[in-house]
């Protein structure tokens, strides 16, 4: 006989099982809540943690103002520059918002160098438990291009080559070959190449970097000669001077984001700007140009009517890596002209070993703190024989001089030089024995067939590599 209950609240087997299930769920939720609370308290007590970080290891070597971005697991209180230590030391600017700290490198970093960034005393915005964030990264190795022309004495129809290589080892690859390459500039995915046609006029092509090496011919306004080919820092524009027998040199640009039409840069009068020299300003999309009347202008190529007169000078030469200053000249000396306030600093070639020097081409490295740093070609003449000794000098301030290359033991000639974007290396184009050298016979800018380029570490003066070629592009 099955027992029964007269209690209306008595539970049956199904109800009992249901209640047990509910109690189990509640108990599980309570345990999870306790665990979550415990983890939350533990996490709070330990302070914030670094979750991840990002940095462009290539761009930090070629452009100032790049950032290392650090991501935390909590919203953070304000971080100050005093909390940040970078090894090797380099100046930084620090900002943070929410869970992100941005460490901005004020200068370009060295190639192939391991950097350590440590931020001490990091704490959340709602409690004071402090932690240290540490991150390490290695910057990209230097990648560069140079022009290796064929020796006309060995093959009159030989191909010139644009070669890509690095500063360590001897590995290299040819990215493009053609007859009579005059000059080139490199973008991220293409190369702009000027070649000399058989009639002595120039041709401009865009060549893709890759296995297909597709070539796009750029139509020029007329037959003429291209010189001083340059690429804008943002990679969106080509510029060059273009002249012919019956017309003076004009500054032309090609917008790579548009229809690739060759367009003359117009002056304030709406006519093509006739120029003596020019360059794209580092860190911007602007152009610095010297007109034929010797006036120097800062021009926006997108809107040439927005031009800033910088003064009248006998020459326009170069600029600092960050574009904050340019080098001009008057009859007395070279001048570092600071663009933000047009402040002028006289630049003089230093003596070497107590001997007077005569200065050649100069590259401004820095104009910070009222103290200019530069690299310059110089010669010391012998008044008795007329011979001279060539140098490449590192100059800092009014007194410091260090010989990077050359001297009495070097019998060759220094043709020109190119400093890497971060100022770490200088590529020196040389002819080992100028007296016996043979020209390649090009219509403009001919070079010796024995020309080579030597790469020197600016900090130590050490030669790190040499290549057979010239016209180095970093």
Give tens-digit pLDDT for 281-311: 998 889 999 999 999 999 998 887 778 999 9
Backbone dihedral region for residue 437 (phi beyond 0: left; psi -120 to 50: alpha; all else: beta): beta
Q: Where would I find the beta strands (DSSP E) of 149-198?
A: 160-165, 172-178, 181-186, 190-196
Please tell me the pTM assigned to this model: 0.84
Q: At a CB cut-off of 8 Å and minimum separation 6, what does 269 contact?
A: none
Q: Write down the pLDDT at residue 11.
A: 54
Specify the pLDDT at position 170: 85
**Which span out of 35-39, 355-359, 367-371 was modeled with the highest average pLDDT?**
355-359
pLDDT higher than 70, residue 20: no
- HSE-up of residue 322 (Cα within 13 Å, Cβ side): 18
Burial of residue 268, with CB atoms counted within 10 A of its CB: 0-12 exposed, 13-18 middle, 19 or more buried = middle
- DSSP character for 443? S
**Which tokens belong to 242?**
């273009």
Q: What is the 3-state secondary structure (H, E, C) of 61-93?
A: HHCCCCEEEEEECCCECCCCHHHEEEECCCCEE
Least confident of 169-173, 423-427, 432-436, 464-468: 432-436
The Cα angle at residue 140 between residues 185 and 371, in degrees rounded to 5:
75
Res 1: pLDDT: 45
DSSP state, residue 140: P
Task: Domains for the chain: give ranges and CATH numbers.
Answer: 50-138 (2.60.40.1220)
Mean of all residue pLDDT scores within the chain = 88
pLDDT at position 246, please? 77
pLDDT digits (tens, 9 = 90+) for 51-95: 999 999 999 998 889 999 999 999 999 999 999 999 999 999 999
The percent of residues above 90 in pLDDT, for the chain, comes to 61
> Rounded CA gap, 301 and 155, in Å?
42
* 384-422 residue pLDDT tens: 777 888 999 999 887 778 999 998 888 788 999 999 999
pLDDT at 116 over 90: yes
pLDDT of residue 23: 67
Distance CA 177, CA 204 (A): 14
DSSP reduced 3-state for 179: coil
**pLDDT tens figures, 237-289:** 999 999 987 788 899 999 999 889 999 998 878 888 899 999 999 988 899 99
Q: Is the pLDDT of residue 9 over 80?
A: no
Name the band, by pLDDT with cuts 50, 70 and 90, for residue 31: low
**What are 159-208's pLDDT values in tens digits?**
999 999 999 888 899 999 999 999 999 998 899 999 998 888 899 999 99
- The pairing of strands 295-299 and 287-291 is antiparallel
**168-195 as b/e: b if 16+ CB within 10 A:** eeeebeebbebebbbbbbbbeebbbbbb
β-bridge partners, 266: 272
Q: What is the pLDDT of residue 126?
A: 87
Spacing of C-alpha 437 from chain mean position: 34
Distances (CA, A) of 273 to 236, 286, 294: 21, 15, 12
The span from the CA of 374 to the CA of 126, in Å, is 49
Q: Does 10 have pLDDT greater than 90?
A: no
């Amino acid at each position: 006989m099955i027992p029964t209950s007269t209690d209306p609240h008595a539970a049956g087997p199904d109800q009992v099982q249901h209640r047990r299930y509910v109690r189990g769920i509640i108990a599980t939720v309570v345990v999870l809540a306790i665990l979550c609370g415990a983890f939350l308290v533990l996490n709070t007590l330990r302070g914030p943690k670094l979750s991840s970080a990002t940095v462009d290891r290539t761009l930090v070597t070629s452009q100032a103002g790049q950032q290392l971005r650090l991501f935390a697991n909590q919203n953070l209180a304000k971080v100050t520059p005093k909390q940040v230590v970078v090894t090797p030391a380099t100046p930084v600017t620090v900002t943070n918002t929410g869970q992100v700290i941005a460490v901005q490198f004020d200068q370009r970093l060295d190639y192939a160098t391991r950097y350590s960034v440590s931020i001490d005393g990091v704490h959340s915005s709602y409690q004071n438990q402090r932690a240290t964030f540490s991150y390490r990264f290695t910057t990209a190795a230097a990648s560069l291009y140079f022009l290796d022309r064929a020796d006309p004495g060995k093959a009159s129809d030989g191909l010139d080559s644009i070669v890509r290589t690095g500063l360590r080892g001897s590995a290299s690859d040819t990215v493009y070959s053609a007859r009579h390459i005059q000059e080139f500039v490199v973008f991220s995915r293409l190369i702009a190449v000027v070649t000399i046609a058989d009639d002595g006029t120039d041709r401009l092509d865009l060549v893709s970097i890759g296995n297909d090496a597709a070539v796009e011919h750029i139509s020029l306004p007329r037959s003429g000669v291209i010189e001083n080919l340059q690429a804008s820092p943002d990679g969106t524009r080509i510029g060059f001077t273009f002249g012919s027998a019956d017309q003076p040199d004009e500054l032309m640009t090609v917008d790579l984001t548009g229809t690739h039409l060759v367009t003359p840069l117009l002056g304030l009068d709406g006519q093509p700007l006739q120029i003596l020299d020019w360059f794209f300003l580092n860190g911007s999309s602007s152009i610095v140009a010297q007109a034929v009347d010797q006036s120097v202008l800062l021009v926006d190529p997108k809107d040439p009517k927005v031009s800033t007169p910088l003064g009248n000078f006998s020459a326009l030469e170069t600029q600092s890596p960050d574009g904050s200053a340019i080098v001009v000249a008057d009859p007395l000396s070279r001048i570092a002209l600071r663009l933000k306030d047009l402040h002028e600093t006289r630049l003089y070639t230093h003596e070497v070993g107590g001997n007077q020097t005569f200065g050649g081409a100069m590259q401004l490295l820095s104009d910070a703190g009222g103290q200019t740093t530069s690299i310059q070609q110089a010669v010391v003449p012998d008044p008795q024989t007329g011979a001279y000794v060539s140098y490449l000098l590192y100059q800092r301030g009014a007194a410091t001089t260090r010989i990077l290359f050359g001297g009495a033991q070097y019998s060759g000639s220094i043709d020109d030089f190119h400093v890497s974007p971060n100022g770490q290396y200088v590529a020196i184009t040389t002819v080992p024995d100028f007296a016996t050298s043979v020209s390649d016979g090009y219509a403009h800018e001919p070079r010796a067939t024995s020309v080579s380029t030597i790469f020197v570490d600016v900090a130590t003066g050490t030669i790190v590599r040499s290549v057979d070629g010239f016209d180095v592009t970093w």
